[in-house]
Amino acid sequence: MSDREPPGSSGLARPTRILLTLAAAGGACWTVWAGRSLLGPLVLAAALVIIALPARKPLDRRGTPGWVGTLVVVSISWGILLVLAVLVLLALGQFARILADYAGQLQESAETLESFFRSLGFSTVSMDDLTRAIQPSALLTTVFNAGTQLLGLGTAVFFVFAYAMFLGMDAARWQNPPAELAEASGRRLQAFNRFTAASNRYFLVNSIFGLIVAVIDGLALWVLGVPGPFVWAVLAFVTNYIPNIGFVLGVVPPVVLAVAVGGWGLGLLVLAIYCIVNVTLQVLIQPRFVGESVRLSVTLTFASVVLWTTLLGAVGSLLAVPLTLFARFLIIGGDPGARFAQWISGDDGPEDPSPRQLPS
């Protein structure tokens, strides 16, 4: 391979290089945050294309014209976006009706919870903040704000569809790099190969397990008589893409509503069912399918959720792991001298010296 850097050093002291690196990282984060209205739709479209890209592999194998494969990839990307948009909008509509129908019970539950925590010695200020956070109006505002960011309402929708189309066209060219480029930049192409393969597997596994979790949770809530099981099933599916804290975000609203309509016994039963289902599937089983592909440390995964949510909002929280994989590819991908950085980020596997074809 010829990805080696030429011998020599920059002549800068190590502390100076570290400070310059931190300054560059800070500038990059500020740039992403400042341009989040444009970058959010772009990363969402890229994720949709990565998910749809394997669909063109059998077409290319049969010798189908390239434009047919591109059309299939773009159509699948647009279809996924439309289905998700319809599901989320339906869930938001039902949630608004639930808040209107059970506003009184939620208010009583908030007051009961406030009294309970006050008896434990929590301060008045903190409890006032808590009760305001679970008021029906506050919950509705929070959910609609998240839905607006997630769906990219308005002009952002146009950019998502446009980016998905353009990325789908370019993907066909990226899959077949010229021979001289593959020879000169074999390590970089291999690193890009690992990034796309890991991201695709991450999306696939999370979608399958998210659907399983959503169906089980929704059916359990329906059997128990908790209002809006479809809403909470959609929420469970969406939050399955958020590592570490997604379970908490998905369980709190149905538990609060269960307490409001059926008392603490029903609320604790819902919490127990969620814990059993989610811990069994998301903690014990799901990592076995996706862990070897992602290869991110637990600490880095959690930090990535906080970072990308701050920079890109709801889209960043859902795509935190693929975005971190892409950042690792840009920073250390293909660099044989960055083995320590690769290892400390959670990737214990050695680099495969042989170049590979980009995934189709």
Per-residue pLDDT of 54-79, as tens digits, reads 887 787 778 778 778 888 888 888 88
- Is the model's pLDDT at 124 over the cut of 60? no
Q: 226 with 246: CB under 8 angstroms?
A: no
CB 82 within 8 A of CB 144: no
Interval 231-251 mean pLDDT: 85
For residues 131 and 94, the model is more confident at 94
Amino acid at 159: F
DSSP 360: -
Asked whether the predicted pLDDT for residue 238 surpasses 80, the reply is: yes
pLDDT of residue 359: 41
Residue showing tokens 């959670």: 346
Provide the mean pLDDT of the chain: 76
pLDDT at residue 146, as a whole number: 59
Q: What is the pLDDT of residue 353?
A: 40
Q: How much is the pLDDT for 331?
A: 81
Q: φ and ψ at 358, to 5 degrees?
A: -65, 145
Q: Are 240 and 246 in contact (CB under 8 A)?
A: yes
% of residues, the chain, pLDDT over 70 = 69
Residue 132 has pLDDT above 60, yes or no: no
Average pLDDT over residues 235-246: 84
Encode pLDDT of 48-60 as tens digits: 888 888 887 787 7
- Report the alpha-carbon angle 15-18-20, nearest 5: 110
Residue 131 has pLDDT above 70, yes or no: no
Res 220: pLDDT: 92
Q: How far apart are CA 109 and CA 121, in angstroms?
A: 19
Residue 243 DSSP label? T
User: Stretch 320-326: mean pLDDT, rounded?
Assistant: 88
| H helices, E strands: number in the chain | 17, 0
User: Among 48-62, 154-168, 192-206, 297-311, where is mean pLDDT lowest?
Assistant: 154-168
Quick one: pLDDT at residue 219?
94
DSSP H stretches of helix in 225-241 = 229-239
Contact of 325 with 201, CB cutoff 8 Å: no
Contact status, residue 270 vs residue 254, Cβ threshold 8 Å: yes
Considering only CA atoms, which of 332, 54, 70, 292 is closest in space to residue 196? 54
pLDDT-based confidence at residue 114 (cuts at 50, 70, 90): low
Q: What does the pLDDT average to over 274-298?
A: 76
Which sign does the torsion angle of CA 247, 252, 254, 258 carry? positive
pLDDT of residue 39: 84
Query: Is the pLDDT at 143 greater than 50, yes or no?
Result: yes
* Contact (CB, 8 A) for 251 and 271: yes
Q: 240 pLDDT band (50/70/90 cuts)?
A: confident
pLDDT reported for residue 354: 41
CA distance 4 to 9: 13
CB 98 within 8 A of CB 228: yes
Rounded Cα gap, residues 238 and 211, in angstroms: 9
DSSP code string of 99-167: HHHSHHHHHHHHHHHHHHHHHTT--HHHHHHHHHHTSHHHHHHHHHHHHHHHHTTTHHHHHHHHHHHHH
Most confident region among 167-171, 282-286, 308-312, 349-353 by mean pLDDT: 308-312
pLDDT of 333-355, one tens digit each? 666 666 767 777 767 655 444 43
Contact 77, 45 (CB under 8 A): yes
Query: Which of 1-5, 44-48, 305-309 has the weakest average pLDDT?
Result: 1-5
pLDDT classification of 123: cutoffs 50, 70, 90:
low
